[in-house]
Structure 1
Amino acid sequence: MHQITIAAQNKWIRFNFKSREIIATFPSKFTNIHSANQTRNRIVAASDSRLLLFNTSNMELVSDIETASVIKSLTTHGDLILITSGSFRLNSHDPMVKVYDIRLKAYRAPIAFPYGAAFVTFHPRLSGTVVIASPYGQVQIHSIERPQDFSIVYTSVYNIGITNLQISPSGQAIAFVDMSGMFHLLATTSYPRFNRSPETVAMPSSYYKPDSNPVAIDDYTYPLNSVGMPHYTRLLLSVWPSNQVVNVARPPVSIEPPSAPIVVLKDGTKIYQFQGKHRRYQTETKSHKESKSSSYQPKFRSELERAGISSNNPNKLLENEDTNLHDISKAYKQLCIQYSKFGASDFDFSFFNKTCFSGLETQLDYAYLNSFLQILRYIPVFYNLAMNHVARDCPNDLCLLCQAGFLFDMLEKSRGEHCRAANLYQTLSEYPVAQESGFLPKSSQMKNGSNLSGIVQAFAHFFLETIYLQATYAQTIPENTITDDLALIYNERKVCLECGAQTQNRIAHFALDLVYDFVTEDTTFESLLESSLSIKFQNTGSCSMCHRNAPFYNEKVLERLPECLTISCNVAGPENRGFWRRQGAPRRRLNIFQGNDSLAIFNSEAPVYASEGLAEYELTGILAEVTDQSDCSHLVAIVKVPEDLEANKPSKWYLFNDFLVKELSEDEAVNFTPVWKIPSLLCYRKKNSVRDSFDKSWKESINKSVLYDATSINNVNQPYVFSEEDQLDENSLLAIDAEFVCLQEAEKEEKSDGSVRFIQPSQLSLARVSVLKAESGTEDCTTVIDDWIMTKQDVVDYVTKFSGIKEGDLDPRTSTHPLVPLRKAYRKLWVLLNLGCVFVGHGLQNDFRTINLHVRAEQIRDT
């Protein structure tokens, strides 16, 4: 009782805090970093990557456990010890939490945490539940007994990092401290209880200072409007939501005296004769024709054909309207595709898009990323990177940059027709980070109140860093070209405050996170951006020189700015939202001056004189989160389309709300005063740059080696390939046939009246594609492609009656056919398409839609 054991350097100190005396000292030959108490043992993490168990009574060593890397933190409960580890020299963290069982004296299955586990602690109230945190603020609540049960919370300290994490004894609050010294608190309720007992914590009473100039209640000369409104950050109670406002009955319309004579009955009752207007002299107050034409859902194309109508009525969604501060504008509302028995092709997408720019469909697993991809499509430096990469030969079947290039080319060729990012999302789903951690939840798993902006901002970091690594590995793009275009280059300096040892390193950040720690009402966007670019903080860690757990001074000095500056707004919490309410709009132009050791940012509305170290940036894309009154949110893209995409017309702003595309005025595009509209990502591009234009030279350097590749996954020789002597151009006729398998049956709802409503069409996947080339001057054809596509997904129906494909034909372990990955087969068709070849076949529009390839009508001969 009243005793604590302190782990000092090379010794243990037992202290009685009641008598305030040191009662015992135990020598130790280990340098202790972390320690924790267990029922019978004292658990210690040593600096030499060992886990030590001491007897609590005499501090004798009981067990010595080797670990693979340096232990960063540990926690214990019962017979379980949870360990996070990593490398102090590289400042890295292992993507899993190790679980050691004292009773079994062995490790159990680890807990996956791909962000890098830095802190771990057991939940005090939920048995078998642990809280894991990364150094950059991702927090995962995980069940050891049920690994599939976990949830992830995103915090707003990605660019700073956290130094400590604790959970309250009640389990209702999690507290952590970031590297700038700010304290953060996450709670399950608005008024959390911190201790276990039901009694509230005693707090000091607040001091109330009465008004020095009281006003008498009967002073009628005092103007009431002199009493100002208190500062508020949420909607007032007087602002009723639209779903709680109803139209009451109209007052009765007075009956005009009729011109017809009055009929008097024998009982004395007077009756007006019917005048042929409305029964009982009712008045028509609403036009039914107008209400029908104002519908936001178009008729199906099959319905238009049966009715003999060429197109749907004009869409109210595309009309300009005044911005409402509290009700979402029509064009910003969340959209969904309605299905008929003919599938998605029967939906009139042209009802939502009258421009030459294409939207993206929504019925996919990761469709909430559509807006982010649309922004990247209209950034010249990123478009050029993707297209120059995909034109070359990339060996990676899971390359996201290849899939981005395929998607951008499809969006360009479609010229206003809808597209799907199905192949990119399918590739993304095969990444371990999307499968194991819930880092990328599927659209069907998203719930109201989900931090959608936080998910997409974390994905932006992951996506940009991944394509950098993939392009560098494939050697299709020079490494310095990618960093010059997309990355902020920092010179990082770390100083140990105990021994003075210094380390320096050059690091690349592909997105800048805004830090709101010291924001006041007078803070401007320029000052916030400047403080976020200049990073200085202190933290603690193990020094490789003095081998102590010492404080460190960290400084990141900006060395070089990119061509495209991506800013993550990190708007989480009412204070951060209040900043954007006060700003009203992000800066449309910025000047960033970078000297030797100085950095200055100022608004670029005034004329600027060119000077060395001065970079001028222009706002080109905004990813905005739109939240309705039921706390359901979705993302939209607001993009400034460059001049060279609109026949050298002046740049215009466009709204991309999935498959809805609408032109916006500049004032509406950057207006963030409505409470339902919050910025998530901002993209600025450098003005007057040599790379600030779309490069189409990639079309002249397409690598055609994939057409001559006869290799397969299961080592079955491919007998059909193109010859290098084949001339492939717009005069080449290629007969094509494709077979598909069903991955998911159609979902439909049968109503009591016998009608059927289709909820989701069947999901098909390419299983086999065959191409025959017509020999010039003859009627003979040569088979040049006969690819069977390997699939990793579960097939529910092989459609053998029509496709001829049987179970096992697409499995590399059992198939006797040459199997290739989907990307390889797709690339062959993509190369032929861009060489100008003409495809001949039956029902090719539906086939190409399922393959996810847009082919213009002039390159199709449908039989």
Structure 2
Amino acid sequence: MDLSSSSLHYETAPEEMLIYDEDTNFTLADESFVSVDEHFTGEYINAEFHERSTILVDGGENFGVSSVAFDTHEELLWMGNQGGHVTSYYGPDLQKYTSFQVHMTDEIRCLHPIDGGILALSPNSLRYQMRRGLPIYTYSSVNMEEMQCLIPMKHSPDSFLLSGHNPRIIELNLSEGREVQMIDVGEGGCAIMRQQTRYLCCGEPTGRVELRDPLTLKVEHSLETHSASLSDFDVHGNLLVTCGFSNRQGALSCDPLLLVFDLRMLRALTPINLLLDPLLLRFMPSYSSRLAVASPTGQLQFVETVVSEPDMSLYQVNWPSAGCVVSSLDVCSSSQAVVVGGSGGSLHLMSSTHSPLYNAFSRPTEFADPIENYEPISLDDTMAVLASIPLPLTDGPLLSDWPKQFVARGYRRTPPIDPEILRTMKMQGTVGYAPNPNTRRRNQVSETYIKRQEGRGGTPNATGGDDQQGFVAIPKRYRKPELKYNKTGGPLGEGENDVENCSKTGLSGLEATLPNSYCNAMLQVLYFTENLRNVMLAHQCPAEFCVCCELGFLFHMLGSGVPCHSGNLLRALRSAKEASALRLILSDTSAQDANLLLLIQSWNRFILHQMHSELLEAKRKEIKMPTFVYRDTDFPSIELQNQRKKKAKAEVSEEIIEDNTKGETDVSRLFGSKQTHVFTCLKCNNKSSKDATLLVHNLVYPHTKGQISSLSLGENNEISFCQILQSSVGGSQITPAWCEPCYKFQPTLQERRVKTLPQILSINCGNNNEADKKFWKDQMDAIVLKVVQGSGDVKTTGNTRQCRYGLSCTRVGCRFKHPQQMTETGISVPSHLYQSHSWVPLSLVASLSENGQMTVKPKPANSEILKGDIIYDIYAVVCYVNDEKKNIVAIINVSSVNDTPLWYIFNDYSITPVGGSEAVWFSMDWKVPCVLYWRQSTSLICNNEMGITEYQSLVGPPPPISPEVLLNVPKCATIIPLSPSEIPKQGDLVAIDAEFVTLNQEESELRSDGKLATVKPSHMSVARISCVRGQGPLEGTAFIDDYISTQEQVFDYLTKFSGIKPGDLDATCSSKNLTTLKSTYLKLRYLIDNGVIFVGHGLNNDFRVINVVVPPNQIIDTVQLFYLPHQRMVSLRFLAWHFIGIKIQSETHDSIEDARAALRLYKKYLELESQGILHSSLEEMYSIGKSLHWKVPGVDTD
């Protein structure tokens, strides 16, 4: 046979396969390597498998095949030979994929494909190689001697077991590249390892198979198989099958049978007789009981373990030369292919189908990119495109370059800078930086936008619409204030000025960093509802999450005149099921898409009904006690932990009293409008009625001709606001309703007959659709047009200048001409008329007739008030500001009844004085009314209802907090409760410290100047509060050490800084002194109200998170005491080490330890100050701190 041609071919099927090209470095040592049919002419016996491909492997002329393995992830077959070379072949045609040298001399003992590559084991090393041929690393150690096999561990995918003719099994962590442990297996070693669900099966050369625990690797059972030596074994399910040699007359003899063991019963089953001498065997994975068995001479037999008679399916491998023996065997995971490697360097692939698949779901194999060939171009072809063949870049001139005199460089025009950027820009030297207005997408420049403007004439649209690059003419006092925060939540940058302005007004603003802070505007309205404020301040009840109590605490802070936040109130609202059902609790993602205009009106209705229901519940269950006392056992979330439920019931007696006022509360007396609803069926004239008390009224606007015709129209089809309010509160309408006599739904006339009018009239304006907004706009235009037509000195169109902002002008009091204000007669309406002539009156008069009909009209000027008339003055307006960031503001008259009006815009922490006319001026484009609050100014009521003046006299000052909150404290190991003689008095010292957990993650942004700014600080929740005596015989002893129970999900316990661990705040499993935030809050409020002076470190941040306001003269902060101007703030740990020689916070933080350290530091401060060496001591401290990098020796690590 001639092998000198360009390629070697032989047939195993009707097709031919290319084995080696002429550029191959290998040569055939023996020309007897020929096609199959030249050596084997006999028939296969019951042939199910046929020899699909046969090749001579790389280096096959010198080295035999030592190991083969099918890839379990891709359609690859791996081969390792006795010369340390590894080659992979793709598909059933055995197309060479990769080939690389692993070891220079040692053979490849085992191949194991994994997800990231291939593991090749040689006697003394392990190579981890990528499938593409790149080595990842090679591992070798002194413990690796005569390695034979490797197998992954099931419980740890990164760990592999390596064994061989070595007394130890090595556990190797592949990702870390280190030996985890070594297991002693005896002198014989372990030559074969197989995995089973219950055992790790280890085969010894002496013929014994040890069953080890997969986790501990300890021997649990041993199986004696062959008397002389173990050749091979495999495991599948509960069966273990072996083949090997026996001693017969002093010589080794191959056992012509397979031994079968049941691993469940740990006993031998009936052996399987074979027609050949078995050397290697493998279970076929797709079959539960089928085996492929190979003999040394190359015979293959497929047998069943459950069939008594052996299967006669035999096959003889066609060796390329005489004397070849089988050296390796493997079966693919799909059982469609079997590969046999021989000592002569040949590889034989047998398959049951013509196109076998190695795996059921193989991933695509990555091949090298094909080299692109270009069609040659003839020099004579004048139509050829030379650019079809890319050329390398060159720095020299090209033949196609135009002469310089015909070329002019054109530069792209710089787009104009957004006016919002110019407005907010700050300069640092020659560099300006501004916050991103988010009007463009990231990494995109709108070049087409500039071209479009040029096509329109080269100038931006003068109307100020959307084409004006983000310009929105909304006054700053209405825009969402942007406040940058430091790590402790304090204001930075422009926010400091707004907070200072807030303090100058003597009014308290509310911060909006917490979730659901959209209700800040309504909270300000409720606070300036004087009678409601007094009711909330006087309310005290034992409920853990009481909205009325939290409103009282918040109103107490708002009375201090400093900015604060409503964190504890929002916490109580999150616990209210009604608020969640009404979807008033927003997440961070839903807050961006929330309809604030409807949301704030729903919140107004909810808060009034919530206050009414809680006051009614407290009224029905009054506790007979001299003064109200908070006990930890009063709260259900703490009862389980303290196990004091029976004792609490014995100490507190409750009495259910009769409701003599039919469910009335202070809230219903203030806001409630008693009505009788009469229902008349239009078919049978059946009448029914029911009484109701409404706390909130919704404005209903007429849109149909029938609704409009029922109202009296004024000039220019004007419908007054008083008519809309009158029909909304006490009107009638026809709606389908159930009629009992008719026994079906019938058109029903529903009439609302008003019996009493409220002291405070709460109105929801609606305006949630374009029809309502258009109606409101039409009425405003009609009011102003009537004023213009009735005035003779209004200038015509030709005498008024055009407004520069055109249709988008929203400036209050603009006196220039606007296109939307042109009438049919050509009269221009100045904008200031919209402010001075509002559709909503500042005052109105309401009266009731005997039949329950309500009449509303504007308050007449210079006229007497009739008996029975009720004058309402508007004192609060909540508006929705429709800008990019969406905002809710409140315009409130903060003065008392009948005093000179003082109007302010409350925009979170920003408070700005305005005129009263601006409160009832609305643009409806960006300033939309949501909620209106009216209050009675003068009341001459003919019935026996109480007027607002008389009601004020009944509401006294809020009761003080009882000292019992400090005395009735359960004993625990960390505190000694106060005795009555130890109750702190004004001027007494109390050291305090608090620990916190976070409920969400902090949001920061990198500014253009390279500094990191905190946009939204993390939402922190108090977890532990500790108070320590500051004087007396028990000075330094804690009397409060409360862990605050929380039902909210904690994002980070900050254990390293707080000492709080998961489970410490859970009432079901905590071992700490767990209590409620409300109980601890009252203890602190008592200390604050009694004038106690608090000593601590970083108290401003502590009190801010606790959500309590402490006067500055009652705070002694060691951060400020030990501080030099223009220097850094020093930590409590460093101060305690430097000045008093103690090391705190070595492992974790403890609030009692920190409070004691702060108290001792304050005493040290007084000592240094009295000696006159304070300043020099601080300078020395800063010098030492800088040299130590502010790290405490022995505590902080580098």
Partner of residue 765, structure 1: 1021
Contact map agreement 1:488 1:509 (CA 8 A) in 2: yes
1:752-802, Cα deviation, whole Å (9 max, x unpaired): 9965343332332111112234566x5636543221111122223323333
Residue 561 of structure 1 and its aligned partner are, at CA, apart by 1.2
Residue 522 of structure 1 and its aligned partner are, at CA, apart by 1.5
1:322-356, Cα deviation, whole Å (9 max, x unpaired): xxx98211221122222345643445544122421
> Helix, strand or coil for the counterpart of 1:847?
helix
Partner of residue 872, structure 2: 617
Residue 641 of structure 1 and its aligned partner are, at CA, apart by 0.9
Contact map agreement 2:601 2:931 (CA 8 A) in 1: yes
> Structure 2: which amino acid aligns with 1:826?
Y
Contact map agreement 1:384 1:694 (CA 8 A) in 2: no
1:92-112, Cα deviation, whole Å (9 max, x unpaired): xxxxxxxxxxxxxxxxxxxxx
2:556 to 400, 406, 409: 409
Matches for 1:309-388 after TM superposition, within 5 Å:
327-340=473-486, 343-347=489-493, 349-352=495-498, 353=501, 354-388=504-538
- Indicate the RMSD between aligned Cα atoms, in angstroms: 3.7
Matches for 1:83-232 after TM superposition, within 5 Å:
none
Residue 857 of structure 1 and its aligned partner are, at CA, apart by 0.7
1:652 to 886, 902, 906: 902
Identity in percent? 29
> Structure 1: which amino acid aligns with 2:900?
P
1:493 to 678, 688, 702: 678
Contact map agreement 2:426 2:433 (CA 8 A) in 1: no
Q: Distance in 2 between matches of 1:335 and 1:752?
A: 20
Residue 388 of structure 1 and its aligned partner are, at CA, apart by 1.4
Q: Distance in 1 between matches of 2:951 and 2:893?
A: 13
> Structure 1: which amino acid aligns with 2:1019?
Q
Q: Distance in 2 between matches of 1:636 and 1:438?
A: 21
> Structure 2: which amino acid aligns with 1:762?
S
1:428-474, Cα deviation, whole Å (9 max, x unpaired): 122234445634434642346x5321111111111100110001111
Distance 1:741-1:607 versus aligned 2 partners, 3 A rule: same
Once the two structures are overlaid, the 10-residue window that deviates more, 460-469 or 352-361, is: 352-361
Residue 507 of structure 1 and its aligned partner are, at CA, apart by 1.2
1:464 to 608, 631, 635: 608
Contact map agreement 1:395 1:474 (CA 8 A) in 2: no
Matched, 1:555 2:771: no
2:994 to 720, 725, 738: 738
Partner of residue 239, structure 1: none
Partner of residue 937, structure 2: 687
Partner of residue 671, structure 1: 921
Residue 534 of structure 1 and its aligned partner are, at CA, apart by 1.2
1:805 to 1054, 1060, 1073: 1060
Distance 1:742-1:423 versus aligned 2 partners, 3 A rule: same
Distance 1:761-1:451 versus aligned 2 partners, 3 A rule: closer
Q: Distance in 2 between matches of 1:422 and 1:736?
A: 21
Residue 707 of structure 1 and its aligned partner are, at CA, apart by 3.6
> Helix, strand or coil for the counterpart of 1:386?
helix
Distance 1:334-1:608 versus aligned 2 partners, 3 A rule: same
Matched, 1:421 2:421: no
Partner of residue 626, structure 1: 881
Contact map agreement 2:1091 2:1114 (CA 8 A) in 1: yes
> Structure 2: which amino acid aligns with 1:505?
K
Once the two structures are overlaid, the 10-residue window that deviates more, 582-591 or 677-686, is: 582-591
Q: Distance in 1 between matches of 2:1038 and 2:602?
A: 46
1:686-733, Cα deviation, whole Å (9 max, x unpaired): 114316869994344445554444479xxx999765555654542443
Q: Distance in 1 between matches of 2:932 and 2:430?
A: 39
Matches for 1:769-784 after TM superposition, within 5 Å:
769-774=1025-1030, 778=1033, 780=1035, 783-784=1038-1039
Partner of residue 214, structure 2: none
Partner of residue 580, structure 1: 776
Distance 1:590-1:399 versus aligned 2 partners, 3 A rule: same
Matched, 1:641 2:641: no
Distance 1:741-1:410 versus aligned 2 partners, 3 A rule: same
Matches for 1:512-531 after TM superposition, within 5 Å:
512-517=697-702, 518=707, 521-531=717-727
> Helix, strand or coil for the counterpart of 2:893?
strand
Contact map agreement 2:426 2:432 (CA 8 A) in 1: no
Once the two structures are overlaid, the 10-residue window that deviates more, 798-807 or 490-499, is: 490-499
Contact map agreement 1:337 1:344 (CA 8 A) in 2: no
Partner of residue 830, structure 2: none
Q: Distance in 1 between matches of 2:742 and 2:1098?
A: 73
1:578-615, Cα deviation, whole Å (9 max, x unpaired): 34333353211111011212321111141343443211
> Helix, strand or coil for the counterpart of 1:769?
strand
> Structure 2: which amino acid aligns with 1:329?
P
1:594 to 832, 835, 848: 848
Once the two structures are overlaid, the 10-residue window that deviates more, 341-350 or 656-665, is: 341-350
1:506 to 686, 691, 701: 691
1:144-178, Cα deviation, whole Å (9 max, x unpaired): xxxxxxxxxxxxxxxxxxxxxxxxxxxxxxxxxxx
Residue 617 of structure 1 and its aligned partner are, at CA, apart by 0.9
| Count of matched residue pairs | 540
Partner of residue 396, structure 1: 543
1:607 to 851, 862, 872: 862
1:654-689, Cα deviation, whole Å (9 max, x unpaired): 011111111112223322246321211111111143
Matches for 1:686-765 after TM superposition, within 5 Å:
686-688=936-938, 689-690=948-949, 697-710=956-969, 721-723=977-979, 727-749=983-1005, 755-765=1011-1021
Contact map agreement 1:489 1:560 (CA 8 A) in 2: yes
Contact map agreement 1:440 1:455 (CA 8 A) in 2: no
Matches for 1:781-796 after TM superposition, within 5 Å:
783-796=1038-1051
Contact map agreement 1:403 1:424 (CA 8 A) in 2: yes
Matches for 1:240-251 after TM superposition, within 5 Å:
none
1:816-849, Cα deviation, whole Å (9 max, x unpaired): 1232222222232223322333322222111001
Residue 533 of structure 1 and its aligned partner are, at CA, apart by 1.2
Structure 2 segments unaligned to the other structure (5+ residues): 1-414, 420-424, 436-470, 623-658, 781-833, 939-947, 1119-1198
> Structure 2: which amino acid aligns with 1:426?
R
> Structure 2: which amino acid aligns with 1:698?
P
Distance 1:433-1:295 versus aligned 2 partners, 3 A rule: farther
Distance 1:383-1:292 versus aligned 2 partners, 3 A rule: farther
> Helix, strand or coil for the counterpart of 2:533?
helix
Distance 1:295-1:751 versus aligned 2 partners, 3 A rule: closer
Q: Distance in 2 between matches of 1:676 and 1:463?
A: 26
Partner of residue 201, structure 1: none
Q: Distance in 1 between matches of 2:958 and 2:850?
A: 42
Partner of residue 536, structure 1: 732
> Helix, strand or coil for the counterpart of 2:484?
coil
Matched, 1:445 2:555: no
1:371-393, Cα deviation, whole Å (9 max, x unpaired): 1111111111221121111xx3x
Contact map agreement 2:678 2:689 (CA 8 A) in 1: yes
Partner of residue 275, structure 2: none
